[in-house]
Structure 1
Amino acid sequence: MRLINICISLSLTLLCLTLSAETVRILGIGNSFTYNSTRYLPGIIQSNPRLSAEVGLVDIGGSSMQQHATWAKEHEMDPSQGSSYRYAINGETLTRTASLRDVLLDKDWDYITIQQVSTQSYKIETYYPYAEELIHYIQKYAPEAEIHLHETWAHNPDSHRNIKWGLDPDETYEKIHAAYHQIAREFGLKTVPVGTAFQNAKQDPLWDYQPTTIDVSKLTYPEDKDNLPDESKSLHKIFQWKKNKEGEMEVRNDGFHARDHGQYLGALVWYESFLGADARTVTYIPEGVTTEQAKSLQEIAHATVQANQSVERK
């Protein structure tokens, strides 16, 4: 009898493990910001033995909702058009000649995200009519998938775009947040609040980056190779030495893409949003992120997702 009970217990355990390992399939449609938010997601998922998921990415650098919607329509009329997407699964590029329709039909996606390009994300008028067209296109070829809006983040205060365009990061975030939630309400969608997590991080002393007082245009290479502004409190990648057209090293400014720490935060938000697991229990930490930083980002991701889901349930 004892042997039978042990066998039954083992069978039930194996059954539970099998059921818990059902693969969840997530597809992000977008651009480099989608890549930023999903870069570390496969590693986070793999560190949890109770979870199984495939993270798909179909992207074009700098692409807007308008471009995705336009390419989709062009491909419908002529299959030779709109087939220059990069398609990757769990970080591995499968092809750079995919169409959006090909990818939507490739797997039984559980969740699919869309987003606006960062240069337009704070302008609600740029979402129309393209968000609706993209949503309908996804519903046509992946009708069982649940569509979410990937809320992107505001640029760093030292981003050359913010400086050139006279943008305030906090005001920009408020417009981004309002735009995504307006579209979510109109079409009955949920959001993945990465942009809000970036904004919330500013309240933590570890991430309260302040604009630099260094005039980077006066830095020279190699004398000032190690004198770039301190970015240790930034979630964005800002200043880098790069060669210009003449082959000389000069300081280039980004300030909108996420650096490793911001990418980790984005992945934690996706992890808890889609897989229902607590970001605070994640054991995977990317190289270059300290334990203290990781714990901070995990807490921020968890609090942000829980607050967002509480609002969306109302």
Structure 2
Amino acid sequence: MKRTKKIFLVVLLLVSQFCFGQDQDKAIRLLVIGNSFSGNATAYLPNLAKERHKQLVIGKAEVGGCSLQQHWEYAEAAEANPDDPKGKPYNGKSLRMLLLEGPWDVVTIQQYSYLSADLDSYSPYAEKLYNYIKALQPKTRIILHQNWAYRSDAKKFGRVAAKQLAKNQTEMWQKSRAAYHAVAKQLNLDIIPVGDAFNRVASGTEYVYKKDPAFDDENAVYPNLPDQVNSLNMGYYWKDKKLVFDPNHANEAGRYLGSLVWYAFLFKESPEKIQYVPDNVPAGFAAYLRQTAAKTVQF
């Protein structure tokens, strides 16, 4: 009897380990509906997942500068005429086609950054997209991806209401955050808080970005650039010997932070153990960004 009981326990343990391992190895299938900001925020997500031996499949429905309204209008065009190229902006595919490539475990949506702080811009398109996704993928989990505010030295900030722009980075973040949370409450959705993580850095002290007062962008001479240490945004750079200023999109550090937040949210695991660091992100800053992501995402 003792021998039989011992064999039974060993078999039970092996079966449990096998089943647990199978569940752990199950791939998360993720479809991202967004624009360049979602592309920025997930840029290094595959690298992080690979390092931590996580299985991840990512589908993309991204168009630069695309709002919730535009995504919905593309879907409407495809429904009205499946052959209409206007309804297939995602590398020749419609949203219906991409959704039916599922099943998808997670589908994310987001607002265009310029409109993110304007709650009225979400209606009725967030709900229409939600219902459309659920009709085609009823078991999927729909999540909001929260954008970040533009860098503190941006020439202008996102819209908070019709014909009214945010006065600064803080107001853009506050109004954007409020809008995302209002939509999340309406549709009962969770939020990937990338915008909150960016704000933690922007409102901190140790690694906060500060505008270089000595740099005169109107009289800049190639290849001179301002001190942009600790920036999460592209900022100033030269392209074909012409000075470009992009205070909106994420640079390597911002993409890293966004990807860390996505990783922590999707896999319910602290990103502080991650060793991968993109080029041009200093080790100390990278460690701070990992800590920031861990503090921002609540399991």
Query: Structure 2 length as normaliser, TM-score?
Result: 0.89
For residue 11 of structure 1, report the CA deviation from its aligned partner: 6.5
Amino acid of the structure 1 residue aligned with 2:277: I
For residue 230 of structure 1, report the CA deviation from its aligned partner: 1.5
Deviations 1:138-164 (A, max 9, x none): 11111111111100000012223339x
Q: Residue 230 of structure 1 corresponds to which residue in structure 2? A: 227
Question: Secondary structure, in 3 states, of the residue corresponding to 1:238?
Answer: strand
Structure 1: runs of 5+ lacking an equivalent: 87-95, 244-248, 310-314
Structure 2: runs of 5+ lacking an equivalent: 159-164
Instruction: Map 1:1-314 onto structure 2 (within 5 A).
Output: 13-49=17-53, 51-81=54-84, 82-86=86-90, 96-162=91-157, 167-213=167-213, 214-221=215-222, 225=223, 227-243=224-240, 249-306=241-298
8 Å Cα contact 1:34/1:57 also seen in 2: no
Q: Residue 93 of structure 1 corresponds to which residue in structure 2? A: none
| Backbone CA RMSD of aligned residues | 2.2
Q: Residue 89 of structure 1 corresponds to which residue in structure 2? A: none
For residue 74 of structure 1, report the CA deviation from its aligned partner: 1.0
For residue 283 of structure 1, report the CA deviation from its aligned partner: 2.3
Amino acid of the structure 1 residue aligned with 2:289: L
For residue 27 of structure 1, report the CA deviation from its aligned partner: 1.4
8 Å Cα contact 1:85/1:97 also seen in 2: yes
8 Å Cα contact 2:210/2:228 also seen in 1: no
8 Å Cα contact 2:78/2:88 also seen in 1: no
8 Å Cα contact 1:207/1:235 also seen in 2: no
8 Å Cα contact 1:237/1:254 also seen in 2: yes
For residue 217 of structure 1, report the CA deviation from its aligned partner: 1.3
8 Å Cα contact 1:156/1:236 also seen in 2: yes
8 Å Cα contact 1:151/1:193 also seen in 2: yes
Deviations 1:279-314 (A, max 9, x none): 1122222222232222111110111112xx5xxxxx
8 Å Cα contact 1:47/1:284 also seen in 2: yes
8 Å Cα contact 1:242/1:252 also seen in 2: yes
| Alpha-carbon distance in structure 1 between the residues aligned to 2:221 and 2:23 | 59
**Shift in CA distance, 182/195, structure 1 to aligned 2, threshold 3 Å:** same
| Alpha-carbon distance in structure 1 between the residues aligned to 2:228 and 2:206 | 11
| Alpha-carbon distance in structure 2 between the residues aligned to 1:241 and 1:162 | 22
Query: Structure 1 length as normaliser, TM-score?
Result: 0.85
For residue 53 of structure 1, report the CA deviation from its aligned partner: 1.4
Q: Residue 90 of structure 1 corresponds to which residue in structure 2? A: none
**Shift in CA distance, 195/22, structure 1 to aligned 2, threshold 3 Å:** same
8 Å Cα contact 2:150/2:247 also seen in 1: yes
For residue 20 of structure 1, report the CA deviation from its aligned partner: 1.1
For residue 187 of structure 1, report the CA deviation from its aligned partner: 0.8
8 Å Cα contact 2:30/2:56 also seen in 1: yes
8 Å Cα contact 2:74/2:89 also seen in 1: no
Question: Secondary structure, in 3 states, of the residue corresponding to 1:34?
Answer: helix
**Shift in CA distance, 127/166, structure 1 to aligned 2, threshold 3 Å:** closer
Deviations 1:11-68 (A, max 9, x none): 754543333101111111010000001110011001112x211122210110000100
8 Å Cα contact 2:74/2:88 also seen in 1: no
